[in-house]
Amino acid sequence: MKSLLLVAAAFGTAASPLVAQSSPMIVAARAAGQVGERYDGYLGYASVPDIRLRAQVESINIRRRALYTDLAMKRRANRVEVGITAGC
C-alpha cells in the first residue's frame, strides 16, 4: 500500500505531459464516447475504431507503458500498480 501511495504522489506531475499530448483526433473520440480511460491507466475503445484512431491510441499507450515502467523502477513498485494508480 505504501508503494501505491508513493507512486500516486509521484505520478501526479509525471503523467501530465502524456495527457497534454493528446491529438485532436483523440480529443474528438473522447468527446464522442469512442475512446476513454481504462481502470489500468491506458486508453481503451468503446467501439471498433478506425485504423487511424487505433494507431493514435496505441502510440499513447506505448508512451504510457514506458512512463509507468520508468516510475515503477524509480519507486520500486510494480508497473501494473503504477498504471492502476494513474487510472484512478
DSSP SS3 for 37: strand
Q: What is the pLDDT of residues 53-64, one digit of tens each?
A: 999 999 999 999
DSSP code, position 46: S
pLDDT of residue 85: 87
**Cell for 75?**
519507486
DSSP code, position 1: -
pLDDT of residue 34: 96
pLDDT of residue 65: 94
Kindly list the domain boundaries of the chain, sorted by start residue: 2-87
Q: What is the pLDDT of residues 3-58, one digit of tens each?
A: 444 444 444 544 444 554 578 999 999 999 999 999 999 999 999 999 999 999 99
Whether the model clears a pTM of 0.75, i.e. scores above it, the answer is no
Q: Which amino acid is at 26?
A: I
